[in-house]
Amino acid sequence: MQRDQSKLGLGINPVVSAGATIFRQLKKSRKSSLAGSSTGGAVLLFFLIVLLLGAFISARWINDSDIRSITATATETQILIVTPTTTLQQAPPPQPLPPKPKPKQKPKPKPKPLIIPFSCPTGNQNLTDICPSTPLPPPLSDDASLPPSPSCPGYFRWIHEDLRPWKSTGITQEMVERARRTANFRLVILDGRAYVEYYRPSFQTRDVFTLWGILQLLRRYPGRIPDLELMFDTVDWPVILARDYRCRNASAPPPLFRYCANDLTLDIVFPDWSFWGWPEINIKPWEALQRELKEGNERVRWMDREPYAYWKGNPVVAPTRQDLLKCNVSEAYDWNARLYAQDWFKETTGGFKESDLASQCIHRYKIYIEGTTWSVSEKYILACDSLTLLVNPRFYDFFTRGLMPVQHYWPVQSDNKCRSIKFAVDWGNSHKQKAHAIGKEASSFIQEKLKMEYVYDYMFHLLSEYAKLLRYKPTRPPNAVELCSEYMACPAEGLEKKFMMDSMVKSPHDSAPCTLPPPFSPVELKISARRKTNAIKQVEFWEQRAWESQKSRPMQ
> Under the criterion CB under 6 A, does residue 328 sit at the interface with ligand NAG?
yes
Say whether residue 252 binds ligand NAG (CB under 6 A): no
Closer by beta carbon to ligand NAG, 424 or else 455: 424
Shortest CB 248 distance to ligand NAG, Å: 7
The stretch among 176-184, 322-330, 343-351, 463-471 that binds ligand NAG (CB under 6 A) is: 322-330
Exposed e or buried b for every residue in 472-491, given b needs 16+ CB within 10 A?
eebeeeeebebbbbbbbbbe
Closest CB to ligand NAG among residues 343, 356:
343
Torsion sign over Cα 282, 284, 289, 295: negative
Q: State yes or no: residue 168 binds ligand NAG (CB under 6 A).
A: no
Count of residues touching ligand NAG (by CB under 6 A): 11
For ligand NAG, give the closer residue by CB, 95 or 125. Answer: 125
d(CA 456, CA 496): 20
Rounded to whole angstroms, how far apart are CA atoms 225 and 222?
Answer: 7
Asked if residue 325 binds ligand NAG (CB under 6 A), the reply is yes
Sign of CA dihedral 499, 291, 353, 312: positive
Q: Which amino acid is at 51?
A: L
Residue closest to 262 by CA, chosen among 528, 27, 24, 529: 24
Q: Which stretch binds ligand NAG (CB under 6 A): 83-91, 147-155, 161-169, 333-341?
A: 333-341
When asked if residue 340 is in the footprint of ligand NAG (CB under 6 A), the reply is yes
- 146/141 Cα distance (integer angstroms): 8
Shortest approach of ligand NAG to residue 425 CB, angstroms? 15
The residues, any chain, with a CB within 8 Å of residue 69's CB and separated by 6 or more, are none
Site for ligand NAG in 124-143 (CB under 6 A): 126, 128-129
Is the Cα dihedral 542, 544, 545, 550 positive or negative?
positive
Pick the closer one to ligand NAG by CB: 33 or 328: 328
Q: Which residue, 233 or 370, is less far from ligand NAG as judged by CB?
A: 370
Q: State whether the Cα torsion 37-39-45-46 is positive or negative.
A: negative
Which residue, 146 or 325, has its beta carbon nearer to ligand NAG?
A: 325
Q: Which of the residues 100 through 129 are near ligand NAG (CB under 6 A)?
A: 126, 128-129
Among the listed ranges 111-119, 282-290, 338-346, 423-431, the one in contact with ligand NAG (CB under 6 A) is: 338-346
Question: Distance between CA 217 and CA 192 in Å, rounded?
Answer: 10
Beta carbon nearer to ligand NAG, 338 or 408: 338
Q: Smallest Cα–Cα separation from 368: which of 333, 326, 337?
A: 337
Residues that bind ligand NAG (CB under 6 A): 126, 128-129, 247, 249, 325, 328-329, 339-341
